[in-house]
Structure 1
Amino acid sequence: MGNRRTYGTNREDPVRGYADTAMEFPRLLALLLMVLEWTRPGLPSPLRPICDLRVLNHFIKEARDAEVAMKSCREGCSLSESVTVPQTTVDFEIWEKKNGSEQAQEVQSGLYLLQQALSLLRASVTATALQSHIDNSLRNLLSIHAVLRSLNIQEYTPPASAAELEGTWLVSTATDLLQVHVNFLRGKVHLLLLDAQACQQDVS
């Protein structure tokens, strides 16, 4: 572990060395337990811990970071054309009347639109710092897709055209797009994972 304190003759301090070993053992044990849990038969993906929402909260934070980076960007950070994005407002009365499959379909279509829009933004911007944030956001969207599949949610088949989707609107600026990204994760994605019985059973 790290830089160990030495005395005169460059010999390691035996007490410090013992302490380092004692601290390292629990970390190794925890890592071993995680590996065994992830490789146990019947678990389709190591991404299932998102059900406790801590991973999703991390994704939301990174989406906010991208939004902040966009607002401070002065050059090479524009969207080349208008893009279709999901509506982020939630009518809870209507949402609660939908079954799990309908809710999942709505979230998956929104994730698909965001992935397409962010990919276009990634190709449009030239600011390196902003590109890095967009790359993180795209990876996080793929991770959420993988989590939904691991929860036995039916795999989403995108339509031939975004115009076929309901509950969408057009944005023409990168700032608006990144704001939609944040709000969609905080809203419908959060609700779906919070309400999913599969999540509750998985962490119980």
Structure 2
Amino acid sequence: MEMGVHEFLVLLQLLLFHLGIQVCGSPQSPFCESHILERYIFEAKEAQNATVACMEDCNLGENITVPDTRVNFHIWKNMEVRQKAGEVWQGLTLLSEAVLKGQTLLANSSQTPVALKLFMDKAVSSLRSLRFLLRGLGAQEGAVFVPDTPTAVPFRTFTVGTMDKLFRIYSNFLRGKLKLFLREACQREKR
């Protein structure tokens, strides 16, 4: 996939921001550029589609814990910003651990096609970048799970044993909770 000028400038802004260099002329944080998240979502969906048809080659050999990606919109709407940040940060952290474990399991398997290993490698890199993106919006600092608050919902997980299920969770998480959180965080930043 070819990177356009706009995407290159946004990535350059992210790099400069990460290095502590102020970027002038940008009215909004580079972390709020919708093209960035949409690119990650596209790549996750591409990996999901590539693994749907595989059978034995996609077996991870053991179950891996992943976050539940379902969103109860009524509960989400009533959650405090810190709770949303906490849920998204926990989910992204668990998903990152799951993908890293999947990558290790696949690296030890001689049966896994190279193309599938490449999708896993790309997912590991993307999840690192997404964690950086969340940190840039202050999500890590605000990421606190407060179980005693009235709107608290227990952090739900389940297990998967195949690459297609792992990539489905990955894709759903990006399109669901992460996208919701980023949209709200960027709207708050505009104010």
C-alpha root-mean-square deviation of aligned residues, in Å? 2.8
Deviations 1:13-59 (A, max 9, x none): xxxxxxxxxxxxxx7xx96xx56x9367446xxxx534132111110
Matched, 1:101 2:82: yes
Matches within 5 A, 1:50-65: 50-65=31-46
Report the Cα offset of residue 166 of structure 1.
2.2
* Structure 1 residues 203 and 77, CA gap change in structure 2 (3 angstroms): same
**How far has the Cα of 1:147 moved from its partner?**
1.1
Runs of 4+ in structure 1 over 6 Å off: none
In 1, Cα distance between the equivalents of 2:48 and 2:94? 17
Give the deviation of 1:71 after TM superposition: 2.2
Q: Is the 8 A contact 2:59 2:161 kept in 1?
A: no
1:129 counterpart = 2:115: yes
Matched residue count? 161
Match of 1:200 in 2: 187
Within a 5 Å distance, the mapping from 1:129-168 to structure 2 comes to: 129-155=115-141, 166-168=155-157
Q: Distance in 2 between matches of 1:76 and 1:172?
A: 12
**Is this contact kept in 2: 1:77–1:124, CA < 8 A?**
no
Q: Residue type matched to 1:119 in 2? A: L
State the Cα distance separating 1:179 from its structure 2 match: 0.5
TM-score (norm 2): 0.73
> Structure 1's 154 and 50: CA in aligned 2 closer, same or farther, altered over 3 A?
closer
8 A contact 2:65–2:98 mirrored in 1: yes
> Deviations 1:103-126 (Å, cap 9, x if unpaired)?
011011111111111112112223
Stretches of structure 1 that go unaligned for 5 or more consecutive residues are 1-26, 158-164
Please give the alpha-carbon distance, in whole angstroms, between the structure 2 residues aligned to 1:140 and 1:105.
20
Unpaired runs of 5+ in structure 2? 24-28, 107-111, 145-153
Residue 37 (structure 2) pairs with residue 49 (structure 1)? no
Q: 1:187 aligns with which of 137, 154, 176?
A: 176
The percentage of counterpart residues that share the same residue type is: 35
Query: Which SS does the other structure have where 2:158 is aligned?
Result: strand
Give yes or no for contact 1:83–1:117 (8 Å, CA) kept in 2.
Answer: yes
Q: Does 1:169 align with 2:141?
A: no
CA distance in 1, matches of 2:164, 2:95: 13
